A and B are shown apart, each in its own frame.
Chain A
Amino acid sequence: MEMHFIFSDKVVLLFDFWSVHSPAGMAFSVLVVLLLAVLYESIKVGKAKLLHQALVSLSIPTSQQLIEEMDQDSSGSDSPPVSKTRLRWFLCHFGQSLIHVVQVVIGYFIMLAVMSYNTWIFLGVVLGSAVGYYLAYPLFSMV
């Protein structure tokens, strides 16, 4: 395995069936890797956004609300039944963990794709990260 970046149309990415041996196949592979990087960046932002939404919907005060409450010196409201909230929080946190596993796996897949030392793939990853980062924050703030 050559340990430097090369421009090449032939590469095997991640799995045995994903072998590229033509410019068209390489263009398609770069597109797939680009979308993978966009997905990775969106999951990073989406996880935090999902957590915030879950906390708000379950009436668990977020740290910002806690700070505001401390300023106003109001008595705490603890109306929802504890057991139902705990079950919902458990399910929400379980979902968060699954999303975290997906994020870790995609991150490693992208690392292995870059490890193929193919320059086109590397550029696809970099571009996908840039596009994903650029699109993720404004889009998720609007939701």
Chain B
Amino acid sequence: MDHSHHMGMSHTDHNTTTPPSHHHPTTSASHSHGGDMDHMMMMPMTFYFGFKNVELLFSGLVINTPGEMAGAFVAVFLLAVFYEGLKIGRESLLRKSQVSIRYNSMPVPGPNGTTLMETHKTVGQQMLSFPHLLQTVLHIIQVVVSYFLMLIFMTYNGYLCIAVAAGAGTGYFFFSWKKAVVVDITEHCH
């Protein structure tokens, strides 16, 4: 099908010629022309570059002009930078507010029948203390922002996806600069 060759360029043309208000990104040659056509194309499932009729997260937020797309790019970029900063800020806050450190040793059987002493270190926080409540609030904010970024990436809009990636890289660059010197290298999965 010849639609698939005009992915980026004629995206805006599709909007002016097709009657339904939702934009119709091109799909691959494999989709069928059954009655489900409108239903399948309401949400894009492949990357595209465009700025016409881009719905962003909320029902009132629709991008229609290049200026609005530029504004959205900056806002998404700053949101990704904020997310990286929040992640690292929470880590340093947690480290600063460690209240109690308990060591407990227990004997563990070692090779050759000897017993080794294994020492476990547990750091804890009181449940109702202010640092823990603050951590919880920041955790909720972090979860919500991370889901927003996921939903923004899910719009499959090329400009917005680039904004997310660039914001993540820039935020990581600025906020990890000082942190990297005193980080615990065994930390992972962050």
Instruction: List residues of chain A with CB under 8 Å of any chain B CB.
Output: 1, 10, 12, 14-21, 44-45, 48, 51-52, 55, 60, 62-64, 66, 93-94, 96-98, 100-101, 104-105, 108, 111-112, 115-116
Chain A residues whose CB sits within 8 angstroms of the CB of B26 once the complex forms: 16
For this complex, into which size category does the number of interface residues on chain B fall?
35 or more
Question: B188 and A48: CB pair below 8 A?
Answer: yes
Question: A111 and B169: CB pair below 8 A?
Answer: no
Q: A51-B180, A101-B166 are in contact. Are A10 and B30 (CB under 8 A)?
A: yes
| B53 interface residue per 8 A CB criterion | no
Q: A16-B26, A19-B28 are in contact. Are A100 and B46 (CB under 8 A)?
A: no
Q: Which of A15, A45, A64, A97 lies at the interface centre, i.e. has the most chain B CB atoms within 10 A of its CB?
A: A97
Question: A112 and B30: CB pair below 8 A?
Answer: no
Question: B168 and A62: CB pair below 8 A?
Answer: no
Chain A residues whose CB sits within 8 angstroms of the CB of B153 once the complex forms: 108, 111-112
| B185 interface residue per 8 A CB criterion | yes
Question: A116 and B173: CB pair below 8 A?
Answer: no
Question: B183 and A96: CB pair below 8 A?
Answer: no
Chain B residues whose CB sits within 8 angstroms of the CB of A96 once the complex forms: 172, 176, 180
**Contact among B46, B169, B170, B187 with A15 in the assembled complex (CB-CB below 8 Å):** B46
A–B pairs, 20, beta carbons within 8 Å: A1-B42, A10-B30, A12-B28, A12-B45, A12-B46, A15-B47, A16-B26, A16-B28, A19-B28, A48-B187, A55-B185, A63-B182, A93-B173, A100-B168, A101-B165, A104-B164, A108-B153, A108-B165, A112-B154, A112-B156
| B184 interface residue per 8 A CB criterion | yes
Chain B residues whose CB sits within 8 angstroms of the CB of A101 once the complex forms: 165-166, 168-169, 172
Q: A48 CA to B190 CA in the complex, in Å?
A: 10
Task: Tell me the smallest distance from the CB of B70 to a CB of chain A, in Å.
Answer: 21
Instruction: List residues of chain B with CB under 8 Å of any chain A CB.
Output: 4, 7, 26-31, 39-40, 42-43, 45-47, 150, 153-154, 156, 161, 164-166, 168-170, 172-173, 176-177, 180-189
Q: A1-B45, A10-B30, A104-B164 are in contact. Are A97 and B169 (CB under 8 A)?
A: yes
Q: A66 CA to B177 CA in the complex, in Å?
A: 18
Knowing that A18-B46, A66-B182 touch, tell me 6 more A-B residue pairs with CB under 8 angstroms: A12-B31, A19-B29, A48-B185, A64-B185, A97-B173, A108-B165
